[in-house]
Amino acid sequence: MTVLGIETSCDETAAAISRDGVILASVVSSQGIHSRYGGVVPEVASREHERFLTRVVQASLNRSGITLEDLDGIAATRGPGLMGALLTGVSFAQGLARGTGVICLGIDHIEAHIFANFIAYPDLEFPFLCLLVSGGHTQIWRVDGLGRYDLLGETRDDAAGEAFDKGARILGLGFPGGPVIERAARGGNEDAVDFPQAFLTSNAIEFSFSGLKTSLLNYVKKLESPPKGDSLSDVAASYQKAIVSVLVSKLKQAVERTGIQVAVIAGGVAANEQLRILARNVLTDCAVLYPPAPLCTDNGAMVAFLGERYLEESPGEMPLDLTVVPNLRLSG
């Protein structure tokens, strides 16, 4: 089967083609324009999606060497995400599906992030645990099958990606925060500043990152001038450590509680090298998997792949609802 996937939930305009579980082409156009505002501006995001969607979809078809007539389905992210941004992608997909006479599927962005791991690891088997870490979500899922998910815990306030983004803004490093903090942290002493790690010692699988951000703000305010050079590296490394340590420690708790020996990491923050290294170092009795970075951050491949999976494996369960839901909650 051949499925076109369209992703426009936030600031990436993306399209990809999945055929028989293999990604033939994946095209991502990142909206760099938001960096000048220090964060994603919803209206600007919708306008940029409108500008680039046709080109991105066309490029994914061209690079795959296929035409619209070869498609069996078109899948588009219907939530969670920004209302206007989601609407742009879903309306585009619906129009294209109507014109070509193929089925149109509404995909849950979080579910697609989880399933990106199957693109990288086709032999991945259920059940497994998933640490889902993105700009809007920080959750640990037990995944028992397609459509069978159990939420083991999540953040009470900010998401891990949000903590990176807000931290970068406080340090004057730009947007998105994850990659710039990761870069600034290289060579820094991660024990230089003792930032708080909420719930680290509690038995509950939950997260909180808003105190961490405030702690960084207070730390920077006390300095005579913003940190630069080695001291910036030290602060960035300590801040990064405070985020990734608590993520890994809660994932370890989930492994111990469930006895499941395979843990995958998904979402934009899963691109973080320190998170990847620490997870493998700490979870020694467990296989720790993560997709290559372009499959962690938002992309159309995960949407196309999951759409095809529904079409093939579970046609009765196909997500045919195309209503856009900005705060869509994945459930099993």
How deeply is 232 buried, as exposed, middle or buried, from its count of CB atoms within 10 A (0-12, 13-18, 19+)?
Answer: middle
164 sits near ligand KG4 (criterion: CB under 6 A): yes
What count of other Cβ atoms lies within 10 Å of the Cβ of residue 218? 10
Residues 104-143 that bind ligand KG4 (CB under 6 A): 134-136
Among 272, 278, 310, 330, binds ligand KG4 (CB under 6 A): 272
Stretch that binds ligand KG4, among 13-21, 87-95, 202-210, 269-277 (CB under 6 A): 269-277
CB of 277 to ligand KG4, least distance (A): 12
User: Counting contacts by CB under 6 A, is residue 297 touching ligand KG4?
Assistant: yes
Q: Which does residue 167 bind out of Zn ion, ligand KG4, none, counting CB within 5 to 8 angstroms by kind?
A: none
Binding test (CB under 5 A) with Zn ion, winner from 29, 134, 233, 299: 134
Return the number of other C-beta atoms located less than 10 Å from residue 208's C-beta.
17
Q: Specify the residue, 134 or 253, whose C-beta has the smaller distance to ligand KG4.
A: 134
Does an H or E element contain 215, and which? helix 210-222
Please confirm whether the linkage preceding 294 is cis (ω < 30° from 0). Answer: no
Residue 296 tokens, joined? 């962690």
For tokens 């060497």, name the residue: 65
DSSP per position, 269-304? GGG-HHHHHHHHHH-TTSEEE---HHHHSS-SHHHH
Binding map of Zn ion across residues 291-310, x = CB under 5 A, - = no contact? -------x------------
d(C-alpha 15, C-alpha 55), whole Å? 10
User: Which span (64-72, 89-97, 178-186, 214-222) binds ligand KG4, by CB under 6 A?
Assistant: 178-186
Q: Which of 73, 89, 176, 227 binds ligand KG4 (CB under 6 A)?
A: 176
13 binding ligand KG4? (CB under 6 A): no
106 binds, among ligand KG4, Zn ion, none (CB under 5 to 8 A by kind): none
Nearer to ligand KG4 among residue 96 and residue 305 (C-beta)? 305
Show contacts with ligand KG4 in window 144-163 (CB under 6 A): 161
Cβ atoms < 10 Å from Cβ of 204: 9
Restricted to residues 208-247, the positions that interact with ligand KG4 (CB under 6 A) are none
If one asks whether residue 108 binds Zn ion (CB under 5 A), the answer comes out as no
Alpha-carbon distance of 306 to 143, in angstroms, equals: 14
Residue 34 is classified by DSSP as G
Angle of CA points 81, 85, 86, to nearest 5°: 60
**Which is nearer to ligand KG4, 169 or 252 (by Cβ)?**
169
SS3 string, 116-173, reads HHHHHCCCCCCCEEEEEECCCCEEEEEEEECCEEEEEEEECCCCHHHHHHHHHHHCCC
Q: Does 178 bind ligand KG4 (CB under 6 A)?
A: yes
Give the residues lining the site for Zn ion (CB under 5 A): 134, 298
Interacting residues with ligand KG4 (CB under 6 A): 10, 134-136, 161, 164-165, 176-179, 182, 267-269, 271-272, 297-298
